[in-house]
Structures are given as C-alpha cells and as structure tokens.
Structure 1
C-alpha cells in the first residue's frame, strides 16, 4: 500500500502578481481620462456677489473666463491695489480684452465660433465701471453672449 502524507497546515500558496501591472495601468488610464486639469491660477481676489435670480447653463458651449478684482496680496507689490483684469495666467488692460476674445474665437472650430460664451467672474468689491468697460469691449468685437458668475442666495443678507 502507498503511504499517505498529510498536508502541512498553515502554508498558503503564493499570490500571483501577474495581473498587477494590468490593474495599475487600467487605474492610471482611468484617472488620466477623468481628471480635469486646472486652467489657470487665480491672481485676483474673487469673492463672488450673491444673486437670487440664478440660472444654470445647460449647454456645454466653449467658455472663456475673464476675472476682475483686486490683485492678491502677493501680486500687489508689482501690480498695485486697484482692480485688474485677469485672463488665463496674466493681467491685461481693458483695451486688450477685445483682442484676447478675437484670438480665442479664431482658435475655435468654425461651428463653435458663434456660440462661445464669455463668463465674467467679478469680485463683489469691484467697481461697476470696470465691468461696464469690459462689456463695451466685448460688444465691439461682437462677443454678445455674456454670463455673470455669482453665488445663489439672497442679496439682502450678508454672506
């Protein structure tokens, strides 16, 4: 008769790591496709005003953001304390707003040139004169779709 041997207790089979690189690359590709990159660093103060008549945009039209407000403290030595206009990662003058919007429009596909939106993110403490100047420059270059970005709430209550 043959001898029977008992299995040693407590031994676990080794874990197979053959599929580990596949899992890692799958996770890498997932996060690369899902993550959105940051467009620009904010260089101005941006405490948005409050409004009660707020409506969300449904379409996914291309949007160019124009920020306005006082420069952050780390930029005040170089640019002063008066309200400035920021587009992408640089400050521009009011006279340059139309030129920037035209360049942005030229970079779009033909079908999207008429539907892009200019979104203004203006600090609550910024003078309305600066906003009015920006609007005039946008009208000069026929960028008439304008969106003001605000927080939803009652404007009578302090935030």
Structure 2
C-alpha cells in the first residue's frame, strides 16, 4: 500500500475546541465563559522543504505548519470565529452566538501530530507528511489530532507505508 506525499497548500480539515466568552440568551443576560467546537479549514503553508519539490511545489514535512484560510476567522460567518461555535461546555445557560469571541491566541496554526509522517521517506532526516496524516490544529485546550491533511496539489509521488 502507498500514500501520496503532501505538498504546499494541501488542505487541512477537521475540528478543534477553543475557550470562548460572551453573553447568555437568558433574561437578563449574564457573562458566558466556556469552550466550543469549531471547524478547521486550512492548508499547509509554513516550514515546507527548501530542498525537495514536486512539480515546483514544496513538499510538507512533520516540521511544517498549517494555517487557517483567511475568511475562516472573520465573524460572523467564518467557521473558526466565535459566532459559529457548537457543542458548548457548559451547555447551559446557552450562549448568544453573535456575542461569542474566541479567547485563545494565537489562532490558526496547526502542527503535524506525533503519529504523522513517513517512517521510510525523509528529507534531511525529517519525515515527509503523507495523505491522511493527523494534524493537531489550533485547539485552545490542547486537544490533539483534530484534523487531517489531504493531498490535492499532486497525484503522482507516493510512498509505501
């Protein structure tokens, strides 16, 4: 069995959890502080290989990073902004979505999980990322591997697993 090698701008998608604050929907409203789940939609953009390219696109390594796509953090519609949170803890009293803000910083960077990378293929001793590898997205509570990277930028370089 083999898997495709990840390259620059390949998508990273999943979910992560962040600390949020805002107001409740109760009457009168009170301050809400808790955590919520958010969609992570980003791509591999940082710390890519300087040595190896596939069709002029840099290969991603376990030292590479993902970043959220720019519109994802813009409220109210960005999927990684306070108003779009879900699965709130605590669930009651319910928060007013439009009032919510994510309090974690920095927001958006994902790092390959410790289980990511090829045991066989390395560049300067650093493992190469493969299709489906787990990514620890920017969870504000330290929850690992909420996302995965999917190959989209190339379809011919593979590695046996």
TM-score bracket for this pair, using the shorter chain length: under 0.3
Task: Compare the two structures and name the one with the higher strand fraction.
Answer: 2
Task: Compare the two structures and name the one with the higher helix fraction.
Answer: 1
* Structure possessing the higher relative contact order (Cα contacts under 8 Å, 6 or more residues apart): 2
Rg larger in 1 or in 2?
1
